Structure 1
Amino acid sequence: MRGAAFYGLAALAEIAGCYAVWAVVKLGKPAWWLLPGMLSLAAFAWALAQVEAAFAGRAFAAYGGVYIAASLGWMWAVEGARPDRFDLLGTALCLGGTAVVLFAPRGG
């Protein structure tokens, strides 16, 4: 469960940091938004490094599905656009891939 919490924290921090850049570039928000955005991206990297995994690549790969689900949650909660059935289907497929990467039986 600890890993799930860090994946969730990492996703929220990464999306918030990336959104800060998006808001400056695409929405005309002031450049000072980049400072909390950079701090948020640093928090993302720290949170992802807390995940218990034998290999960084596997932790990062598994995170991909979590990021996709969290991104669509952000789209709905912050941007007010409800995910459609294709968003939900794609997210389910990605989370299935995440589960395979995390929970597949591996020898020794």
Structure 2
Amino acid sequence: MKTFIYFFLAAIAEISGCFSFWAWQRMGKSAWWTLPGTLSLLLFAWLLTLVESNIAGRAYAVYGGIYICSSLLWSWIVEKSIPDKWDISGALVCLLGAAMILMAPRS
């Protein structure tokens, strides 16, 4: 459960950090938006180091599935864009793949 929480918090930190740059470049917000965005991206990187994994690439692969779902939640909650059936179906496929990577029996 801790692993999922770290992944989810990392996703929120990454999405909000990247969104701050999006807001600056694409929405005409002040360049000052990038300061908390940069801090958020640093938080994202730190949070991923808390995940229980001996292999960084595997942790990042699992994170990808969580990131995709979190991005759709972000677009729904923050940007008021309701995910359609294709968004939801694609996210479920990604979560299934992430779960397979995370929970596969390994020696």
Q: TM-score category by the smaller chain? A: over 0.9
Equivalent position of 1:78 in the other structure: 78
1:70-106 Cα distance to aligned partner (Å, 9 max, x none) = 0000000000000000000000000000001000111
CA RMSD of aligned residues (A): 0.4
Structure 2 counterpart of 1:101: 101
Q: TM-score, normalised by structure 2?
A: 0.99
1:47 to 2:41 alignment: no
How many angstroms apart in 2 are the aligned matches of 1:84 and 1:5? 25
Structure 1 residue runs without a partner (length 5+): none
Answering whether residue 10 of structure 2 is matched by residue 35 of structure 1, we say: no
Aligned with 1:28: secondary structure? coil
Q: Percent identity?
A: 52
Q: How far apart in 1 are the matches of 2:35 and 2:12?
A: 16
Q: Which runs of 4+ in 1 moved over 4 A?
A: none
Q: TM-score, normalised by structure 1?
A: 0.98
Q: Shift of the alpha carbon at 1:54?
A: 1.2
Q: Secondary structure at the match of 1:10?
A: helix
Which residue does 1:26 correspond to in 2?
26
**Unpaired segments of 5 or more residues in structure 2?**
none
